[in-house]
Chains A and B, each alone.
With several copies, the nearest count.
Chain A
Amino acid sequence: QELQTFVVNESQRARIQASIHSLTDTCFRKCISPGAIKKGALDRNEEPCMRNCVERFMDANFVVLKELEKLRG
């Protein structure tokens, strides 16, 4: 029982970590201005863009799930 809970939790954790890596990848590409990078901090456009990017990705994800449910009937 405990082992099963542990396995479920760990695999959920792994999936969350994978999503975070993939979202960072996608949103970094979208939000960080092209060209050489001068400062390590996120600037005033980049920071909200990164946060919006996560939220809009989740919104879009939700749109997909809703549509899939419609298709299933």
Chain B
Amino acid sequence: QIQQEANMQNARILVEKLNEHCFERCVPKPGSSLSKGEETCFTACMEKYMTAWNTVSKQYVARIQKESQQAGLGGSTGL
């Protein structure tokens, strides 16, 4: 159950960060409604951010695994 909560927390941070970045990018001057262009940008940005997060996760985990193998069993990861 704790793990489930950790996953929820993780997803929540991802959505928060994504909102922050994409709002920054796609809505430079907030008007009286979200324009079609802003909405399209937002949907694309959201997808891009999630893909970027996935790419980072894979690359990062692969790197710390490689490093802990080089350091022997139970090696530390340098972070």
Q: Do chains A and B touch in the complex (CB under 8 A)?
A: yes
Point out residues on A near B: beta carbons under 8 Å. Answer: 10, 13-17, 19-32, 35-42, 46-47, 49-65, 67-68
Q: Are the CB atoms of B37 and A63 closer together than 8 Å? A: no
Pick from A26, A46, A47, A64: contact of B18, CB under 8 Å: A64
Closest to A14 in B: B6
Known contacts A10-B2, A10-B6; decide if A28 and B23 are in contact (CB<8 Å).
no
A-B contact count (CB 8 A): 150
A contact patch SS: helix
Are B17's CB and A25's CB within 8 A? yes
| A1 to B: closest C-beta gap in Å | 16
A27 near B52: Cβ-Cβ < 8 Å: yes
